[in-house]
Chains A and B, each alone.
Chain A
Amino acid sequence: MKKVDKEVADAYFKTRTRLVIIFLGVGFLVSFGVVAFAEFFSQFKFMGVEFHYYMGSQGAVIVFILCLFLNAIFSDKIDKKYGITDSANATISSNKNTD
């Protein structure tokens, strides 16, 4: 066991939290944001159909999927930067379960 500086530990948590807030914000805008101004967006067309309909039927879902994959990739990078290795995580995790 090695002690981690408080600033380092806090920085890890802060970076991860910022990521979560950004992605949830994007997800909120493409779903609730577009719905709230659906009448306004209906004047634009995208892929053959009114923009508000496109966002509801395809756009929002595609953005959601991208958010989740980008979060998984960025989080892995952050873990790596802080010296976290996945195999160590898995071993520690399986010892800690209350199975």
Chain B
Amino acid sequence: MDPQLFVSLGLILATFALYIGISIFNRAKATSDFYVASRGIPPLWNGMAIGGDWMSAASFIGMAGTVMALGYDGLAYIMGWTGGFLLLTFLLAPQLRKYGRFTVPEFIGDRFESNPARLIAAIATVIISFTYIIGQLSGSGVVIGRLFNIPAMYGTMIGVVIIAIYATLGGMKGVTWTQVAQYLILIIAYIIPIVFMSLQVTYNPLPWLTYGNVVDEIGAIDRELGLSEYFAPFAESDKSQFIALMFTLMVGTSALPHVIVRFFTVSTMKAARWSGAWALMFIGILYLSAPAYAAFSRFILMTQVANQPIEDLPAWTESWINTGLLQAADTNGNGMLDWTELSVGEDIVVMATPEIANLGLFVIGLVAAGAMAAALSTAGGLLITISSSFAHDIYYRLMNPQATDAKRLKAGRIAIVVSTIVAGLVALDPPGVITQIVAWAFALAGGTFFPVLFLGVWWKRMNTQGAIAGMLIGLLSTLTYIFLAMSGITLFGIQDTGAGLISVPINLLACIIVSKNTPPPAKHLQDDVIDLRYPEQMTYKDGEVWMNDGTDK
């Protein structure tokens, strides 16, 4: 066994043992443990768990590469994926938390007192989470496959088994604390390589302060080569597409069921606000670092790999050229590798950087363990969400409302195992480019849920008919625009990944117009909505607000 494989394998196995140990220790005993971790997670730790839940294999492996390839235009991902937490924490999370339900479909079903709405929401939740989880499983397959030189298929299977074990055991409680551990592992694995790269390139260990100058130098090299500058705005896409993509990612982030459900695990509206703040800080550490990662990698590639004689390429290039993700060929036959002759796959930037910068066995193994942590933490959260849609919303709330606690817990566990296997089977042969599918999941989440949840908690006049019309029209218009854009028909230059800018306003209008033209909801439902304006201690009832000061009932 070669030493690199030994170190990487050892680190990954050690982290797996840690995750399974945590979920055995936090074994779920009641349904409340299983779905919402008994609602007792402190905000700071919940923020960290949201970080692990939210940052997926796409964030860890792919984002720096995307920014490197697209330059300024890749920053739509940075601002979109972080800005979503602003919408979520200001407009949805505290209100949804005060409503006090287990899942997003349960909120929609109870707020609009409608089982058809509950069913539509449950099915949409499953579709969105399934789309997302396929990307995670393929991602973990790529990491394991590369490591052991086995086909990614077997890697996927190994990943599926690990996730199924710890999600079934611990439920949300176990998943919460494994996500905290996974966040810590992935962030350490992400930061260490760029600190070393920053030292190598600028002699300063704080990459966030130094990479601006590197970006400027890259722009200067681009200018010399006659290419458009790295930082030039809208070189790769239209401004309208940049704005549409950023909007879609923001709104989609705030409406993803597996992220919203993490806010149900804290005790109060106040704790929900603090969770959101901590979450974005922990997430921001990685998102602020991704452009630095991109800049240093591009700088090293431009100055140390490009413009070298083709025979003298560094040793690490060979194994990546073999995977097909790195292409370096002397097409113009001058014996030198020009920058324009080098093609770097977006997904290898983070994985290959420790080798590019020659950081040694331990760091390379750590990055592999970090990538696995990112994929597994998101997959764990998604599995709980899918399982709760089936076992809680469809089985318990619609089919068998008399089910005992033990029976519901069992249904939840069965749903996790079945959905892991199905998702694993689909991920063996992914139906398209992963990053694109993930972008569709955001468009679907925003287009289906955001207006319904937003109006549901802020507008008392919003009724059942409006919610059903909004969800169905939103889902349909998102899918329609994606298909139209894929076949070349676009509005204002907005591509399929920016579909949310089209479908979210349509959904919003549908909700308002249909609600206005149908009877208002029952009075107690309207009272519930006004009640969400106030903290838990204040209760709204029959036009009056009451303060619970503990004196009497």
Q: Which residues of A contact B (CB under 8 A)?
A: 1-4, 6, 8-9, 12-13, 16, 20, 23-24, 27, 31-32, 35-36, 38-39, 42, 46-50, 52-54, 56-58, 60-62, 64-65, 67-69, 71-72, 75-76, 79, 83-86, 88-90, 92-94, 96-99
- Partner pick for A32 among B246, B288, B553, CB 8 A cutoff: B246
Are A61 and B284 in contact, CB atoms less than 8 angstroms apart?
Answer: yes
Are B281 and A65 in contact, CB atoms less than 8 angstroms apart?
Answer: yes
Q: A4-B538, A12-B534, A71-B89 are in contact. Are A31 and B246 (CB under 8 A)?
A: yes
Q: Does B551 contact A (CB under 8 A)?
A: yes
* Cross-chain pairs A/B with CB under 8 angstroms, 30 sampled: A1-B547, A1-B551, A2-B549, A9-B545, A23-B90, A27-B86, A35-B79, A36-B243, A48-B215, A52-B72, A53-B72, A53-B215, A56-B76, A57-B75, A57-B291, A58-B208, A61-B79, A61-B288, A64-B280, A68-B277, A69-B277, A71-B89, A72-B274, A79-B535, A84-B535, A89-B267, A89-B537, A93-B267, A99-B31, A99-B39
Are B215 and A88 in contact, CB atoms less than 8 angstroms apart?
Answer: no
Are B551 and A68 in contact, CB atoms less than 8 angstroms apart?
Answer: no
Are B267 and A49 in contact, CB atoms less than 8 angstroms apart?
Answer: no
C-alpha gap A65/B79 in the complex (Å): 12
- In the complex, which residues of chain B have a beta carbon less than 8 angstroms from the beta carbon of A48? 212-213, 215-216
B388 to chain A, nearest CB (A): 13
C-alpha gap A47/B239 in the complex (Å): 24
Are B536 and A89 in contact, CB atoms less than 8 angstroms apart?
Answer: yes
- In the complex, which residues of chain B have a beta carbon less than 8 angstroms from the beta carbon of A92? 536-537, 548
Q: Does B83 contact A (CB under 8 A)?
A: yes
C-alpha gap A29/B549 in the complex (Å): 41
- Partner pick for B243 among A32, A46, A50, CB 8 A cutoff: A32
B211 to chain A, nearest CB (A): 8
- In the complex, which residues of chain B have a beta carbon less than 8 angstroms from the beta carbon of A49? 212-213, 215-216, 231
- In the complex, which residues of chain A have a beta carbon less than 8 angstroms from the beta carbon of B98? 93
- Partner pick for A89 among B89, B270, B274, CB 8 A cutoff: B270
- In the complex, which residues of chain B have a beta carbon less than 8 angstroms from the beta carbon of A32? 243, 246-247
Give the residues from 64 to 106 in chain B that come closer than 8 angstroms, CB to CB, to chain A: 67, 72, 75-76, 78-79, 82-83, 85-87, 89-91, 98, 100-102
Are A3 and B544 in contact, CB atoms less than 8 angstroms apart?
Answer: yes
Q: Does B36 contact A (CB under 8 A)?
A: yes
Q: Does B492 contact A (CB under 8 A)?
A: no
A70 to chain B, nearest CB (A): 9
- In the complex, which residues of chain B have a beta carbon less than 8 angstroms from the beta carbon of A90? 267-268, 536
Give the residues from 213 to 260 in chain B that come closer than 8 angstroms, CB to CB, to chain A: 213, 215-216, 231-234, 239, 242-243, 246-247
Give the residues from 25 to 84 in chain B that come closer than 8 angstroms, CB to CB, to chain A: 31-32, 36, 39, 67, 72, 75-76, 78-79, 82-83
**Total count of chain B residues near the partner, CB < 8 A:** 69
C-alpha gap A46/B240 in the complex (Å): 25
Are B288 and A86 in contact, CB atoms less than 8 angstroms apart?
Answer: no
Q: Does B449 contact A (CB under 8 A)?
A: no
Q: A4-B547, A23-B90 are in contact. Are A68 and B552 (CB under 8 A)?
A: no
Are B85 and A68 in contact, CB atoms less than 8 angstroms apart?
Answer: yes
Give how many A-B residue pairs fall within 8 Å (CB-CB). Answer: 195
Q: A42-B233, A58-B208, A68-B277 are in contact. Are A2 and B547 (CB under 8 A)?
A: yes
Q: Does B460 contact A (CB under 8 A)?
A: no
Q: Does B17 contact A (CB under 8 A)?
A: no
A19 to chain B, nearest CB (A): 9
A60 to chain B, nearest CB (A): 5
Are B537 and A85 in contact, CB atoms less than 8 angstroms apart?
Answer: yes
- Partner pick for B78 among A1, A12, A61, A76, CB 8 A cutoff: A61
- Partner pick for A24 among B86, B274, B536, CB 8 A cutoff: B86
List 5 extra interface pairs beyond A1-B552, A6-B544, A65-B281, CB under 8 A.
Answer: A38-B72, A53-B72, A56-B78, A64-B86, A90-B267
C-alpha gap A8/B544 in the complex (Å): 11
Closest residue to A74 on the B side, CB-wise? Answer: B273
C-alpha gap A22/B78 in the complex (Å): 22
Give the residues from 499 to 553 in chain B that come closer than 8 angstroms, CB to CB, to chain A: 533-540, 544-553
Are B545 and A3 in contact, CB atoms less than 8 angstroms apart?
Answer: yes
B85 to chain A, nearest CB (A): 7
- In the complex, which residues of chain A have a beta carbon less than 8 angstroms from the beta carbon of B547? 1-4, 83
Q: Does B209 contact A (CB under 8 A)?
A: yes
B236 to chain A, nearest CB (A): 13
Are B270 and A68 in contact, CB atoms less than 8 angstroms apart?
Answer: no
- In the complex, which residues of chain A have a beta carbon less than 8 angstroms from the beta carbon of B287? 61
Are A56 and B72 in contact, CB atoms less than 8 angstroms apart?
Answer: yes
C-alpha gap A18/B102 in the complex (Å): 29
- In the complex, which residues of chain A have a beta carbon less than 8 angstroms from the beta carbon of B462? none
C-alpha gap A4/B215 in the complex (Å): 57
* B260-273 interface code vs A (CB 8 A; 1 in, 0 out): 00000001111001
Are B82 and A47 in contact, CB atoms less than 8 angstroms apart?
Answer: no
Q: A84-B537, A88-B537 are in contact. Are A1 and B546 (CB under 8 A)?
A: yes
- Partner pick for A57 among B78, B232, B553, CB 8 A cutoff: B78
C-alpha gap A27/B287 in the complex (Å): 16
Q: A52-B233, A69-B277, A71-B90 are in contact. Are A93 and B100 (CB under 8 A)?
A: yes
Closest residue to A1 on the B side, CB-wise? Answer: B546
Q: A36-B243, A68-B277 are in contact. Are A6 and B537 (CB under 8 A)?
A: no
